[in-house]
Amino acid sequence: MDRNCEYSYSGMIINGFLALAVILAVIAAGVWSVIEGGTLLMAVGVLLLVVSVFCLGGFFMLEPNQSIVAIFFGKYQGTISRTGYWWINPLMTTKKLSLRIHNLDVEPIKVNDKVGNPILIGLVLVWRIKDTYRVSFDLDTSGGQSVQHFVAVQSDAALREVAGRYPYDNESHDDSQLTLRSGGEEINDELEHKLNERLAMAGIEVTEARINYLAYAPEIAAVMLRRQQASAIITAREKIVEGAVSMVKMALDSLERDKVAAMSDADRARLVSNLLVVLCADEGASPVVNAGS
């Protein structure tokens, strides 16, 4: 068996109510010996009382999704996960850990995306303890740092790494390019994978990670907004011109097919120019009626 990972405790463990009944009986016997007995019996009674009080330190209770790491004089003895009220050797040091799901909301941090734009990005993740041995012995919490603090620091590092691999938005109009804004599940899956890689060393498992905040940093937000507006205007103009050219071609073809008027090349060029001006203008055209000479 690999002793550098979690395994179940196989030592003596007694039902807590049964152990309590036995200890109370021993205490009663000790009290009776001290009160009623002679010198020898009194010494035995005192010894029984001391042992009974010492044994009271072996009780513990476990709720669902809780575990206790058992340590005997510095040596890991296993993990107890059986729910209920139990008694264990009081010389055993125990450390209770919660296996329940934890939620962490990482506040937005400022990072640079792939093209160097400063952005604000935040995430929310769901995590739980998977290996009680690694959490207890591989993760140093002696300096007052909690498991949640370790998860927060590693989440910050993973978020910076993933955010730096992709641009915030698609600036080249290439729909195949993966971006932070349009990546969706792919970005979240990569972030979750990266977090699991970092947290596995401490026996922690991430069950879900999602980007919950994404925006340009305040110092460039206004500039990027104008860039997006300009890009939208250019895209709209392209559609307008494309539609106008199609309509002009349809009008010329219809005039020639129905022989409405005979036009020279100069007349055709003039008509095309006028139609394009009318169709592409931002405001309504003011027609000038030609009454002839």
Pairing of the two strands 84-88 and 59-62: antiparallel
* C-alpha distances out from residue 4 to 75, 134, 276, 284, 290, Å: 11, 8, 78, 79, 96
What percentage of the chain exceeds 90 in pLDDT?
Answer: 45
Distance of alpha carbon 241 from its chain centroid, rounded?
45
Among 97, 123, 150, give the residue marking a domain's end.
97
244 and 261 assigned to the same domain = yes
Let me know if residue 270 belongs to a domain: yes
Let me know if residue 171 belongs to a domain: yes
Q: What is the pLDDT of residue 65?
A: 93
110 and 178 assigned to the same domain = yes
Amino acid in position 185: E
Q: What is the pLDDT of residue 177?
A: 75
Residue 15's pLDDT band, with cuts at 50, 70 and 90, is very high
CB 30, CB 49: distance < 8 Å: yes
Residue 114 sits in a domain whose CATH number is 3.30.479.30
CA dist 83 and 287 (Å) reads: 88
CA dist 110 and 260 (Å) reads: 66
199 and 264 assigned to the same domain = no
For the segment 11-31, the average pLDDT, to the nearest whole number, is 93
Residue 255's pLDDT band, with cuts at 50, 70 and 90, is confident
Q: What is the pLDDT of residue 47?
A: 93
- Looking at every residue in the chain, the average pLDDT score rounds to 84
Q: What is the pLDDT of residue 253?
A: 76
**Residue 211, domain extent:** 102-216
Residue 244's pLDDT band, with cuts at 50, 70 and 90, is confident
Among 55, 75, 97, give the residue marking a domain's end.
97
118 and 153 assigned to the same domain = yes
- The number of distinct structural domains making up the chain is 3
Let me know if residue 288 belongs to a domain: no
The model carries a pTM of 0.69
pLDDT digit string, tens, across residues 146-191: 899 999 999 999 999 999 998 888 765 556 678 888 877 899 999 9
Q: Is the pLDDT at 71 greater than 90, yes or no?
A: yes
Q: Is the pLDDT at 68 greater than 90, yes or no?
A: yes
What percentage of the chain exceeds 70 in pLDDT?
Answer: 85
Let me know if residue 47 belongs to a domain: yes
Q: What is the pLDDT of residue 132?
A: 93
86 and 177 assigned to the same domain = no
Tokens in use for 286? 């003011």
Let me know if residue 239 belongs to a domain: yes
159 and 112 assigned to the same domain = yes
* C-alpha distances out from residue 41 to 23, 37, 89, 291, Å: 18, 5, 26, 137
Supply the DSSP symbol for 11.
S
Let me know if residue 237 belongs to a domain: yes
CA dist 182 and 165 (Å) reads: 14
Let me know if residue 266 belongs to a domain: yes
Let me know if residue 110 belongs to a domain: yes
CA dist 133 and 136 (Å) reads: 5
The H or E element spanning position 13 is strand 13-15
Residues sharing a CB contact under 8 Å with residue 228, sequence separation 6 or more, in sequence order: 169
Q: What is the pLDDT of residue 2?
A: 47
Amino acid in position 282: D
88 and 117 assigned to the same domain = no
Q: Is the pLDDT at 282 greater than 70, yes or no?
A: no
Q: What is the pLDDT of residue 229?
A: 67
Q: What is the pLDDT of residue 69?
A: 95
pLDDT digit string, tens, across residues 79-138: 999 999 999 999 999 999 999 999 999 889 999 888 888 889 999 999 999 999 999 998
